[in-house]
Structure 1
Amino acid sequence: MAILVTRPHPDDEATALSLRARGFEVLLAPMLRFEPVAFDDDEEMRYGAVIVTSANALRGIERQLNGRGLLKLPLFAVGEHTAAAARSVGFETVIPAKGDAASLRDLVLASAKTKALKKTSPLLYLAGADLARDLAGELGERGFTVVTQTTYRMVPLSSLPRETSDAFAANQIEAVLHYSRRSARAFLESVRAAGVEISALAIPQCCISAAVASVVRDAGAPQVITAASPDENALFALLDRALRA
């Protein structure tokens, strides 16, 4: 029996490695495909800080960051995973939030309140093409100027790998891990197209957040559970509890 990971590549490989270290069999079925978008930044703009809600935003422009002054700016990351990606591409000062956009917003606001960050300097938001939350608008309402630069897009995949659809048909998958609303929607469309919706939704659906869980629950899945916090360690703990139950 295997755990199905729907996370996009290459992050799915890291997840699989962690699961296998915990003794699980793993199947990979990325539901979104990463595509970089050309980075057209104004080098004359004097930013006060960088904000990032996904490691993919950095992956898309990693080569273009070499030698840029942006690397010397403080970077506010949505969570530890994104913070690690920021450090790996060369950012010197990285401040992680607690794993979601709301905590990232609050972290930026708190830094401004303590004068560690000046509202007079614009923020550079490195973002994806599809945003689940208007972080720039929320910060704008609180007096910040936010310049949003799209550096990547995630393209939904229309079908399951054959190995995955066969495993669902044979009841060889014991749980599914969901990481985003968009990948959850793509998963639902794919299992319907493959004719394995009933078996795919009958097993525990482990979701990284309540927002993701709502997508799967609305599709009729009876065993939808949500991690205690929006990070992978909490998702793994949720998986352990679900399978023990």
Structure 2
Amino acid sequence: MKMLVTRPDPDASDTAARLGALGIEGVPCPLLVHQTLDVSLPDPKGFAGLVLTSANALRALDERGVLARYRALPVYAVGNRTAALARDMGFATVTSADGAFADLVELLAHAPLAGPIFYPAARDMSAYLGKSLAPFGRMVITAEIYAMNPVTELPDGLAERLGAGEIEAALFYSKRTAQTFVRLVERGLERPARARFGVLCLSEAVAAPLLDAHFVRVGLCDHPSEEAMMGLALSFARDQNP
């Protein structure tokens, strides 16, 4: 059993290794490429916390050489893996929402914050934290510190491998990744092949572009986490080879 891993590096390689431990061959195929942006960043003084919706924000701060200036701030992370990376990078006070964006909003709405929060974000945001927290009286200072740029083509021979059924499924962690995949296979993967191909998605929002493009073998996580994605992949593999 081979599964395509579409998330960006270095996460794609990590996920492929986790699949390997389950007896599934992960084929890394990052469809978004990280780019750190040269934007002005605020002084940490006066902030009540640092909010993270992706580990890519930490990587961007590190690439900019400014990570140390924010380490004294409490961190509020969307999920456990981002929280774990924050701890590995030296942050002492880290709280995880252990879920999706809505869970993070709920956490921040009721957190004991006595000032504004700093949000190093992606340039192409799917949801706006400041707008979501405004009804709760929370002030969010956002800096678009990184971009996730879509690739313009699939690796050589991949479309043919997908069409031949050599790779039986793909893992999708974001809506933009799913949209990129749909665009890249629009002319190279016919509808019968799409009907056979498994698309394993972190959420309904991630799955939506794939459903619109006539991928019908859709698997959804019961919780937005890497552990749930691994469970979904294992269940799919077992269904294929009972």
Q: Normalising by structure 2, what TM-score?
A: 0.92
Taking the aligned partners of 2:176 and 2:2, their CA distance within structure 1 comes to 23
Q: Does residue 117 of structure 1 match 2:113?
A: yes
Q: Does residue 76 of structure 1 match 2:70?
A: no
Structure 2 match to 1:94: 94
Structure 1 residues 189, 21: CA separation in 2 closer, same or farther (over 3 Å shift)? Answer: same
Structure 2 match to 1:178: 172
Q: Is the 8 A contact 2:182 2:209 kept in 1?
A: no
Q: Does residue 216 of structure 1 match 2:216?
A: no
Q: Does residue 143 of structure 1 match 2:144?
A: no
The unaligned stretches of length 5 or more in structure 2 are none
Aligned partner letter, 2:60: G
- Give 1:173 deviation, angstroms: 0.8
Structure 1 residues 207, 44: CA separation in 2 closer, same or farther (over 3 Å shift)? Answer: closer
Q: Does residue 160 of structure 1 match 2:187?
A: no
Q: Is the 8 A contact 1:209 1:230 kept in 2?
A: yes
Taking the aligned partners of 2:215 and 2:137, their CA distance within structure 1 comes to 42
Structure 2 match to 1:27: 27
The unaligned stretches of length 5 or more in structure 1 are none
- Local SS of the residue matching 1:154: strand
Structure 2 match to 1:196: 189
What does the per-residue CA deviation read over 1:114-140, in whole Å, with 9 as the maximum and x for residues that have no partner? xx322xx11101110111112111112
Q: Is the 8 A contact 1:191 1:200 kept in 2?
A: no
Structure 1 match to 2:42: 42
Structure 1 match to 2:128: 134
Aligned partner letter, 1:196: L
Taking the aligned partners of 1:152 and 1:208, their CA distance within structure 2 comes to 22
**Aligned alpha-carbon RMSD (Å):** 1.6
Taking the aligned partners of 1:241 and 1:41, their CA distance within structure 2 comes to 44
Structure 1 residues 85, 44: CA separation in 2 closer, same or farther (over 3 Å shift)? Answer: closer
Identity %: 35
Structure 1 residues 31, 200: CA separation in 2 closer, same or farther (over 3 Å shift)? Answer: farther
Structure 1 residues 48, 226: CA separation in 2 closer, same or farther (over 3 Å shift)? Answer: same
Q: Is the 8 A contact 1:29 1:164 kept in 2?
A: no
- Give 1:197 deviation, angstroms: 4.2
